[in-house]
Amino acid sequence: MILAIETSCDDTCAAVVTEGGEIRSNVIASQGLLHARYGGVVPEIASRRHLELVDAVTADALERARVRLDDLTTVGVTRGPGLIGALLVGLSSAKALAASRRLPLVPVDHLHGHVVASTLAPEPIEPPYLCLVASGGHTFLARVDDPAAYTVLGQTLDDAAGEAFDKGARLLGLGYPGGPALDGLARKGNPEAFDFPRSAPGELDFSFSGLKTSLLYRVREHPDADRADLAASYQRAIVGALVDRIRTALDREGLERLAVGGGVAANSELRAAVERLGVPVWVPPVELCTDNAAMIAGAARFLEPLPYPEYLDLDAAARLG
C-alpha cells in the first residue's frame, strides 16, 4: 500500500494506491480559484497554501482509503520538476511521514507520473506504448518499453500546449484557465475560417509560440471577426500539431498503443482526433490526467525505494537533470 504526495504546482494532492495499481483514494485540493485573479499561478501563494492543506489532504486520502499509517509499505513523493517552494512542502511532509514509521521513500519525477497514469487499474495499458503528455507546464512525446522509465522523443521548444490554450483564450477575452472555455467556444465556430501556420511535417518537437502570435495578429486585423471562428481555427491548429506528431512517432517507432495525459487531454477535439488514429488509445479520467498523487504512487510502484534514513537529506529539484 503506497501513500503518495504531489505538490509540484498549484494542486495539493495525496493518494493511496496498491502495488497492483488499484486506486484506493485520490484527493486533489485545487488552488485554481486562488490564482485565477492573477491570471496564472503565483509561486509564493501556492507554497503557502500547500503548507496549509497538505496535512488535511493526506489525512483525507488515508481516511478515504480506510488505511492507517501503519498499513503503509512505502511513501512516494514528487521530487520535481515544478515550483521549488511548492515541491519542498510535499517532500518535507512525505519525509516526515515516512520517517515517523521508518518506511522507505520513493522520490518520483512528476513527468514519469503523467507517463504511467494509464498503467493504473482498472484497464492498465501494457508497454510498449507511445505517450503524449500535454499540460499547462509540459508537452512531450515519450516512448515506454518498461514502466520504470521513459524516453522523450520530442518536446515543446517554447510554450506548452495548455499554455497555448490559456494564452489564446486570454487574447479572445475568455477567463483563466482558458483551455476549457476555448474548447467550448470552438464548438460553435468554423475551424476552417482562419489559417494558422502549420509546423513542418516529420518533426517530433513542438512549437506553439508562433501560433499564439498569429492569433494576436488575426484578432487585431479582424476586430469584428466571430470569436468562435477564431477559437475553432486556433484549436484546430494546436490539435493538428499534436496529432501530426503522434502519427509520426507511432509510425517511426513502430508502436501500436497510445496513452494521452495532462490537462489538455480533456480537450474534446483532441480526444476525438486520437480516436481516429486507428490504434487503441488510453485517456484516463480527467482527475488522472491533471496533476494528482495517484499517478505519483503509480510511478513509485516501479521504482527502487530509498530505505530509512537515506532519504532524509534528499532535496527537491525545480528541474531534474
Residues that bind Zn ion (CB under 5 A): 135, 291
HSE, CB side, 13 Å, CA atoms: give it for residue 211: 31
Which residue number, 135 or 139, has a Cβ lying nearer to Zn ion? 135
The entry of ligand KG4, Zn ion, none that residue 166 binds, CB within 5 to 8 Å by partner kind? ligand KG4
Single-letter amino acid code for the residue at 76? G
Which residue number, 229 or 291, has a Cβ lying nearer to Zn ion? 291
Applying CB under 6 A, which residues contact ligand KG4?
A: 9, 135-137, 162, 165-166, 177-180, 183, 262-264, 266-267, 290-291
**Min separation Cβ 146 and ligand KG4, Å:** 24
* Paired residues of 80 in beta bridges: 109
Which residue number, 93 or 135, has a Cβ lying nearer to ligand KG4? 135
Which residue number, 41 or 241, has a Cβ lying nearer to Zn ion? 41
Residue 39, Ramachandran bin (φ over 0: left; ψ between -120 and 50: alpha; else beta): left
**Min separation Cβ 295 and Zn ion, Å:** 9
Evaluate whether 14 touches 85 at the Cβ level (below 8 Å): no
**Min separation Cβ 8 and Zn ion, Å:** 7
For residues 163 and 206, give the distance between their C-alpha atoms in angstroms, rounded to a whole number: 13
Which residue number, 135 or 267, has a Cβ lying nearer to Zn ion? 135
The entry of ligand KG4, Zn ion, none that residue 177 binds, CB within 5 to 8 Å by partner kind? ligand KG4
The entry of Zn ion, ligand KG4, none that residue 244 binds, CB within 5 to 8 Å by partner kind? none
Q: Tell me the residue nearest to ligand KG4 as measured from the CB.
A: 263
The entry of Zn ion, ligand KG4, none that residue 229 binds, CB within 5 to 8 Å by partner kind? none
Strand boundaries in the chain, DSSP class E:
2-6, 11-17, 23-30, 74-80, 105-109, 129-134, 139-144, 151-155, 258-261, 281-282
104: helix, strand or coil = coil
For residues 50 and 86, give the distance between their C-alpha atoms in angstroms, rounded to a whole number: 7
Evaluate whether 79 touches 109 at the Cβ level (below 8 Å): yes
For residues 130 and 61, give the distance between their C-alpha atoms in angstroms, rounded to a whole number: 31
Hunting for cell 514502466 — which residue is that?
A: 147
Angle between helix 178-186 and 268-275 (nearest 10): 70
**Min separation Cβ 79 and ligand KG4, Å:** 16
Which residue number, 59 or 286, has a Cβ lying nearer to ligand KG4? 286
The entry of ligand KG4, Zn ion, none that residue 82 binds, CB within 5 to 8 Å by partner kind? none
Closest CA to 64 of 289, 294, 263, 288: 294
* Paired residues of 26 in beta bridges: 15
The entry of ligand KG4, Zn ion, none that residue 93 binds, CB within 5 to 8 Å by partner kind? none
**Min separation Cβ 196 and ligand KG4, Å:** 16
* Paired residues of 109 in beta bridges: 80
**Min separation Cβ 259 and Zn ion, Å:** 14
Which residue number, 97 or 182, has a Cβ lying nearer to ligand KG4? 182
Q: Give the CA angle between residues 104, 107, 113 to the nearest 5°.
A: 125
**Min separation Cβ 278 and Zn ion, Å:** 28
